[in-house]
Amino acid sequence: MSAKKRSTAGLAPFSEDTFRRSALEKVSRLTFVGDVTTDGDHLLIEPYPCDRPTIFKIAARSVEVSKNPLECRLPDGSVRTLFRVFVDRFAPCSRITEGLAEDFFGANRPDGDFGFTLATLQAQIKFGSNAEGTLTYGSNSVKCLGQSTRQYPTDLTVEGVEGVDKYKLWHSTEFDVDMPWAVKIWGQKGIFIHEGPNNLKDNGGESAGCIHLAPPDAENFYNWVTGRTRIQISYPW
């Protein structure tokens, strides 16, 4: 990423409390798309789209920016180069231009609100109260098993790149177990979708946090995730 320089002199900050009390309080890491520049030790992030022009100033150590830019085609036919940005939700943050705090979370809205396509594949996971659930992707609907005490991200996107967030076999050092056909959905917590017993009876209880798919469902889902994939997760706890 080539960071442009931008001055923030004279622009008024806003309260960090507004940032923390967002509607996405269950999410620990935010993912969105926008223009990224710098004023030195901080990144200046302008999410796209925003209802009003808004720039957010965040310490660089709290932000991860994808190395691969997105060439996004806008409704008027023009192309704009943007970056996918990952931010710790509890990072100190200042809004330095007029706008609504919710503008910061614009890229967490459904794809239809963007005006351009970011995710080409769509999948949904719906859990019941006992952590047993259903994964729906393409024309497939299969059973899965999670953990009822886990606050999963409700809307996330994986890149679907083998060796980056897809692994034919991942070894968990925490539990000393192999996890075949693993798709990483929450790197900070080590949460994957992978092969394993997909029900409480066969698993001897809930999972340890990952989402289990029985064979051959895990391999089929792994092979289906061939690029940027949006995964929405809902649960009643």
Residue 177: what pLDDT?
94
Print the SS3 string covering the chain: CCCEECCCCCCCCCCHHHHHCCCCCCCCEEEEEEEEEECCCEEEEEECCCCCCCCEEEEHHHEEECCCCEEEECCCCCEEEEEEEEEECCCCEEECCCCCHHHHHHHHCCHHHCCCCCCCEEEEEEECCCCEEEEEECCEEEEEECCCCCCCCCEEEECCCECCCEEEEEEECCCCEEEEEEEEEEHHHCEEEEECCCCHHHHCCCCCCCEEECCCHHHHHHHHCCCCEEEEEECCC
- The fraction of the chain above a pLDDT of 70, given in percent, is 69
Q: Which residue has the higher pLDDT, 70 or 89?
A: 70
The stretch 104-126 carries a mean pLDDT of 53
Q: Is the pLDDT of residue 61 over 70?
A: yes
Among 4-18, 64-78, 127-141, the range scoring the smallest mean pLDDT is 4-18
Residue 95: what pLDDT?
58
The stretch 88-92 carries a mean pLDDT of 68
Residue 181: what pLDDT?
98
Q: Which residue has the higher pLDDT, 83 or 166?
A: 166
pLDDT digit string, tens, across residues 143-192: 999 999 999 988 887 888 899 899 999 999 989 999 999 999 998 789 99
Residue 54: what pLDDT?
67
Whether the CB-CB separation of 39 and 57 falls below 8 Å is answered with yes
Average pLDDT value for the chain: 77
Residue 148: what pLDDT?
97
Token pair in block for residue 128: 């019941």
Residue 84: what pLDDT?
82
The stretch 60-80 carries a mean pLDDT of 75
Integer Cα distance of 91 and 20 in angstroms: 9
The stretch 58-77 carries a mean pLDDT of 76
Residue 2: what pLDDT?
46
pLDDT digit string, tens, across residues 2-50: 445 555 444 444 334 334 444 445 556 777 778 888 767 778 877 776 5
User: CB neighbours (10 Å) of residue 137?
Assistant: 18
CA 97 to mean position of chain CA atoms: 25
